Amino acid sequence: MMSIRFVRQAVVFSLATILVSAFVQAQPPGGGGGGRGGFGGGGRGGFTMDRAMLLRAEQIRKELKIEDAQAATIDAALEAFREERMAAPRPDFEAYSKLSEEEKTALREKSTKEREELSKKTDEALGAMLEPEQAKRLDQISLQLKLQNGAIDALKGDDLKTKLAVTDEQIAKLDDIQKAADAEREKARAEREANGGQGAGGTAGGGRGPGGAGMEQFLAARKKLNESALSVLTADQTKMLSEMEGAKFELDMQAFFSSFRGGNGGPPGGGDGGGRKRGTDGGKDGGGKDGGGKGTRPQAE
């Protein structure tokens, strides 16, 4: 066991180098956030919680039974990346603004693909610091959250699309479901504008953080949209997906996001926000008893 821990400590330095060089290459001209992958880059109305983001949460570390030595190694790697990321050159917004719409679209698509590749490399590097069963459980939790955040984007993503053998016909059905949800969202937005901006804060396609009754409507609409998306799958695909998800895990979202407040860069920009170390105030990271009660956070547009 000592040899494994020694290897993990050595991996930290090479990991930081890999992450930093890849991030600089993948930095999007339009900014660090958005997109479908890579350090919290989101799909339609949300963002992906990859290993770099999830491993900050105390609740998840407890679920994975991560030891103090492992936690220290993971924290060191994430902190090294965070510091280098903050020192990375900022994108040239002025040059980007002068591009044509076609050029902007091409550049955004290129950046999205690069961030997806970066996220994959990062996940693999961080996976080297976990035991096989820990990595498997983390992947299960990540998949559950991805489906919850947006089942359509998850099913159309390369990973699930390949593993579940999602057909072109099913993709077309998912597209139709999304178009219907988008139309409903636009209709609700128009109604809110007609009423002077009053009303619920969003529907199935998104919204910007409704509260009270609006939050309930938002969550109900998102659940309905996800259920519609999953209904496209065959019985065999549904069974396979359930096995991939593993035992149900309820992440305390309020505590999870509180771990990023006050850090350098929030989750949407890269999953490296808080950077607090275990042993100081790291107990609040994402799931400690002081992190807050259970809650949910709506997707950001």
Q: Indicate whether 239 pLDDT > 50.
A: yes
The predicted structure's pLDDT at residue 227: 96
Residue 134: CB partners within 8 Å, gap ≥ 6?
A: 64, 65, 66
Alpha helices, H only, the chain: 2-26, 51-54, 58-64, 68-87, 93-97, 101-127, 132-156, 158-163, 168-194, 213-230, 235-245, 253-258, 267-270
What are the sequence ranges of the domains in the chain? 2-131+251-284, 168-232
Q: Which residue has the higher pLDDT, 38 or 89?
A: 89
- Using CA atoms, how far residue 188 sits from 53, 194, 230, in Å, is 33, 10, 24
Q: By percentage, how much of the chain surpasses pLDDT 90? A: 34
Contact (CB, 8 A) for 273 and 267: yes
Distance of CA 148 to the CA centre of its chain: 11
Q: Indicate whether 204 pLDDT > 80.
A: no
Torsion sign across C-alpha atoms 8, 10, 12, 16: negative
Question: In this predicted model, what pLDDT tens digit does every residue of 88-97 receive, in sequence order?
Answer: 777 788 888 8
Question: In this predicted model, what pLDDT tens digit does every residue of 251-262 receive, in sequence order?
Answer: 998 888 877 664
Nearest to 70 by CA among 258, 279, 280, 251: 279
